[in-house]
Structure formats: C-alpha cells, structure tokens
Amino acid sequence: MIVYPFSFIKTAAGGGYDPDAQAFITATGISGADADAINQLVIDLKDYSLWNLIDAFYPFIGGTSTTCKYNLKDPQDTDGAYRMSFNGSWTFSSNGVVPQSKSSSNYGDTYWSPYGSGGNRNNNHHYYRYINEINNKSCDYAGVGTPYLIMGYCAGLEWFDGSAALSNGGNPTNGYSQAITKTATNDIRFYRKLDGGGSWGQFSGVQSDSSTLPSTSMYIGTINGANFPEQMRYASLSYGQGLTATQIGDLDTIVTTYNTTLGRNF
C-alpha cells in the first residue's frame, strides 16, 4: 500500500506541483490540503504508469458543483474534455457527491462513451468507482444501456458488460470500491472491495463478450437509457483503457490512499 505521512508531500521534479496537478488546481480554484492531495494523486498515478491509461478521472474534491465537475486528466470546461454535467438535485461536500434523492432525474453525464473516439473498444476499456456512503439500497446502478456497461448493487455488488455479467459480489454496508476491466473480448474481470475490512480482489471467474459497446455516454446516479437510479455518494470515479490485475489493484490502492488522506474513506 502507498502511504505517506501527512507532513510529507511529494513534489514534481524541480519543486512545486506537478504541471498536470497544477492545471486541475487552477481550473477548480482549490488550495491547501485539497491541492496537496491532488498533487500526490497525480504523482502516484504517474509513478505507477496509470496516468496515460486513464481517459477521465473525477476526484470529486472542493465541495461545490464547480470543483467536482472537472476531469483531472483534462480540466477544461467542455463536453469533449469529459467535464461532468450534474443534472437534477445533488449535494456537494468535502466527502464527495451524492444525489439528494433516488430519482432518474438526478444524474451526472460524463460525456465519456465506452465505444471510444477511435471505434469499438471491445479490447480496451475499464470502469472504476469508489463509493464512501450507501443510501436507500435496493437495485441501484450507474452506467449506460443498450448494451449494458453498468455497475451497481442488487442483493450484492454486480456488473453487466454486454451479455457478460456477475452478481452477488458481496453485501457492503457503508462503502465499497469496484471495477470492470476488459483486456480482450474473452477476458472481462470484476474486482471489488467491501467495507468492514474486506480486501481488494477479483470476484468469480473470467467472463467473455464480443458485442459492440454503447456509443452513448456513461451516467452516474442512474443508467443512461435504462433508469434504475441510485443514491450512492461518490468519492472517486475513473474510465479508460483495460488494466491488468496488477494495474487495477494499484489504482485501488492509490485511490484509497487519496481518500484516506482527505478523511473520507469508508
């Protein structure tokens, strides 16, 4: 696990914040401990060779709709930069973002499509989220439909990727992290970590699916095109290329460290 004392913040070569961290800090206007945490997050993602494998990463920091909407990888206020658009009623705080009620009208549009700008990414995508509070738990999902690329909960954590699916992946009470990673049409894997001392690991076996991925954008708070709203509080979210078992484990460790530093781990 990557653990740094609170008094020690790594800096970019030559001192100061990493340039990519600084771009995000400038766009959001965050400062102090929040800015330090973002800088450390960027450095860790680069140190573990994950930075270039991620298209969109939402740190959900700063406690406002403005600070929480920006994509760490490209902090421009445009749809093409995957800036999130929050619709309906949301609560923004130092702990992250959460819909104020369970309604399909309360959703965040990421503008990121699993299909990818270069064509059908059947061999090259992943979806990871870190949830630090669960509300009104029943059958709750986020993602996109037709075909499905979703993760959520219904009698246990589960995911659907086209015709591939795994369900009943454990029952969290306060929070969890989960990910789908797909490195080939016959190699789709689901990982998750539950609260209460659960460890990060792969749930069940390898799945296969060769269907064309949806070209519409991923939502949080509900499924784009299929409803099933949720009221989970997000602390982090990312989308990007397929990751190996080691890479997805490193991502969870980095994100857990980031949220623990901010005092909002589950």
Q: Give backbone dihedrals phi and psi of 240, rounded to 5 degrees, phi first.
A: 170, -145
> What is the chain written as a DSSP string?
-----TT-----TTSS--HHHHHHHHHHT--HHHHHHHHHHHHHHHHTT-GGGEEEEE---SSSHHHHT--TT---SSGGGT--EEES-EEEETTEEEESSS-TTSEEE----TT-TTS--TTSEEEEEEEEEEES-SEEEEEETTTTEEEEEESSEEEEETTEEE------SS-EEEEEEEEETTEEEEEEEETTT---EE-S--B---PPPP-SPPEESSEETTB---EEEEEEEEEES---HHHHHHHHHHHHHHHHHTT---
* Higher-scoring residue by pLDDT: 239, 209: 239
pLDDT recorded at residue 3: 45
Asked whether residue 2 carries a pLDDT value surpassing 60, the answer given is no
* DSSP-derived secondary structure letter, 214: P
Contact 19, 29 (CB under 8 A): no
Instruction: Write down the pTM of the prediction.
Output: 0.93
Q: According to the model, what pLDDT value does residue 4 have?
A: 44
Mean pLDDT of 124-144: 92
What would you report as the CA-atom Rg of the chain, rounded to the nearest whole angstrom?
17
Residue 147 has a pLDDT of 84
> Residue 229, preceding bond cis, omega within 30 degrees?
no
pLDDT-derived band of residue 131, with 50, 70 and 90 as boundaries? Answer: very high
Look over the chain and give the mean of its residue pLDDT values, rounded to a whole number. Answer: 91
> What is the predicted pLDDT for the residue at 121?
66
How large is the average pLDDT for residues 132-152? 93
Apex 262 CA angle, 260 and 265, nearest 5: 40
pLDDT at 176 over 60: yes
Confidence of residue 91 (pLDDT cuts 50, 70, 90): very high
Structure confidence by residue, pLDDT tens digits, 29-73: 999 999 999 999 999 999 999 999 999 999 999 999 999 999 999
Give residue 118's pLDDT band: very low, low, confident or very high (50, 70, 90).
low
Which pLDDT score is estimated for 213? 80
Tell me: pLDDT of 136 over 60: yes
The most confident of the ranges 116-130, 174-188, 252-266 is 252-266
Q: Which two tokens stand for residue 145?
A: 């439909």
pLDDT at 7 over 60: no
- Percent helix, strand and coil across the chain, each to the nearest 5: 20, 30, 50
Residue 183 has a pLDDT of: 87
Domains of the chain, each with CATH number or no CATH:
19-261 (2.60.120)
* pLDDT score at 23: 98
* Structural tokens at position 59: 């740190």
CA distance 133 to 114: 26
> Which residue has 């270039």 as its token pair?
52
CA–CA gap between residue 207 and residue 126 (Å, rounded)? 14
Alpha-carbon gap, residue 258 to 266, rounded angstroms: 12
pLDDT at 215: 86
Most confident of the ranges 145-149, 167-171, 234-238: 234-238
pLDDT attached to residue 114: 85
Which pLDDT value is given to residue 197?
Answer: 67
In angstroms, rounded to a whole number, what is the distance separating the alpha carbons of residues 7 and 154? 41
The answer to whether the beta carbons of residues 115 and 156 sit under 8 Å apart is no
Q: Quote the CA–CA distance of 1 and 44 in Å, as a whole number.
A: 11
CA distance 203 to 180: 10
Give the pLDDT band (50/70/90) at residue 25: very high
Q: Is the model more confident about 92 or about 123?
A: 92
